[in-house]
Amino acid sequence: MTRSAELGVAVIGIGTMGADHVRRVEEVISGARVAAVADVDADRAKALAATVEGCTAHTDPGAAMAAPGVDAVLIASPGAAHEESLLMALERDLPVLCEKPMTPDAAGALRVAEAEAKLGHRRVQVGFMRRYDAEYRELAGLLAGGGLGRPLLLHCRHRNLSVPSWFTDANLINDSVSHEFDAARFLLGQEITAVRVHRPAPSGRTTEGLGDPQLVVFETDGGVVVDVEIFANCGFGYQVQAEAVCERGTARIGEAHGLMTNTAGRWGGEVAQGYLARFADAYDREVQAWVDAARRGETTGPGVWDGYAVAAACEAGVEAQRTGRRVAVEMAERPTFYRR
């Protein structure tokens, strides 16, 4: 396949995540190339573009989308900038893969939904990469098959080695537990109806102003109770685990039982040190699926309504953090366009 025959992608935002996606498109997956990059840091954009044949550098997302050879858009900028870029891409009727959060608030997500519905077809895939992880897909299939009976509880753990000093309580919900909100919806096929947050005494490793760890408990419209231990500065590595408790058994994922050693009176293995390592395969599958669908003129995977549902759950979660109360998730009625 020649470079000109590949899907030309504009990558918006080339920080840690965006730069990794540039590498992925250029070196890992097939059928696509990076045609343009955009970043508020002009020097960073120019430096990265110089490493990719035929890639142009921009500071304005709209200019990158309008660059020669651009057929699709991958948005990896900070969440606050997503809505503007999404609306620009939809105006151009370009396929989009947008990292989560799709938008930082539910109102913005509804504006994106309105813009996409006006096109009359889906264009946006949201970057909930756990849906492409082999273990999550296996667990979802197991639960859907019904062999273990009806799910009753879902226990989740989300631990980071560390987070930046600017991380706040709200970031715990919007940047971390948002993944569990979508994963629960994916695994259970149910919507989230209420959230409550419990706060133990904070760890001595946490930064000032951050209550860490926290226990986020939420309910679904199918009667399942989900608990999430979010521990942002656990200090030993990155762990994401889930256990479904059903009527006739349990199923657990995320144990990372790869190579195990027994030596010098100890046994053990390796704990991933970050999300890019833990979910590398999931990111590869996600971007490949997006590229394949875009080249067919289709959009698959988690979409705008999934992004909206998570934004609504996050708003309830942040309010539950603030008040200490159980907070109901308020969602608009699902438009006919998203019932297909």
State the Cα–Cα distance between residues 247 and 324, nearest whole angstrom. 31
> What span, in angstroms and rounded, lies between the C-alpha atoms of 63 and 237?
39
Cα–Cα distance, 113 to 122 (Å, whole number): 10
Residue-level pLDDT at 277: 86
Tell me which residue has tokens 């999934």: 306
Q: Are residues 82 and 113 located together in one domain of the fold?
A: yes
Is residue 334 a part of any domain in this protein? no
Say what angle helices 304-323 and 106-119 make with each other, to 10 degrees.
Answer: 170
| Same domain, yes or no: 157 and 187 | yes
Structural domain of 207: 134-277+310-328
SS3 145: helix
Element housing 38 (H / E): strand 32-38
Cα–Cα dist 13/37, whole Å: 7
CB neighbours of residue 266 within 10 Å: 7
**Amino acid 269: pLDDT:** 77
31 lies in the same domain as 92: yes
Contact present, 6 and 55 (Cβ < 8 Å): no
Q: Is residue 256 part of a domain?
A: yes
Mean pLDDT per block of 10 residues along the chain (340 residues) reads 79 97 98 98 98 97 98 97 98 98 97 97 97 96 96 97 93 96 98 98 89 97 98 94 96 79 76 86 97 97 98 98 97 91
The phi and psi torsions of 59 (rounded to 5 degrees) equal -105, -15
CATH number of the CATH domain containing 69: 3.40.50.720
Q: Helix or strand or coil: residue 202?
A: coil
Does any domain span residue 158?
Answer: yes
Distances (CA, A) of 321 to 9, 108, 168, 313, 316: 39, 22, 11, 12, 9
Query: What letter represents residue 267's amino acid?
Result: W
Residue 96: per-residue pLDDT: 98
Running DSSP on this structure, what letter comes out for residue 56? E
As given in the structure block, the two tokens for residue 93 are: 């009727």
Closest CA to 154 of 200, 212, 216, 100: 216
In a domain, 339, yes or no: no
337, part of any domain: no
Q: How far apart are CA 10 and CA 62, in angstroms?
A: 10
Same structural domain, 194 and 68: no
Instruction: Let me know whether 87 and 235 are in one domain.
Output: no
Same domain (yes/no): 141, 38: no
d(CA 177, CA 221): 19
Tokens of 3: 């470079």
With residues binned 3-state (H G I as helix, E B as strand, rest as coil), the percentages for the chain, rounded to 5, are 40, 25, 35
Question: Residue 138 belongs to a domain with what CATH number?
Answer: 3.30.360.10
- 138 and 126 in one domain? no
In a domain, 89, yes or no: yes
Q: Is the peptide bond before 213 cis (omega within 30 degrees of 0)?
A: yes
**Structure confidence at residue 259 (pLDDT):** 63
Question: 116 and 71, same structural domain?
Answer: yes
Say whether both 101 and 196 belong to one domain: no
> What confidence score (pLDDT) does residue 268 get?
78
The answer on 152 and 206 residing in a single domain is yes
Q: Is residue 333 part of a domain?
A: no
Quick check: is 336 in a domain? Answer: no
Residues 123 and 143 grouped into a single domain: no
Structural domain tally of the chain? 2
Amino acid at 217: V
Q: Is 260 in the same domain as 320?
A: yes
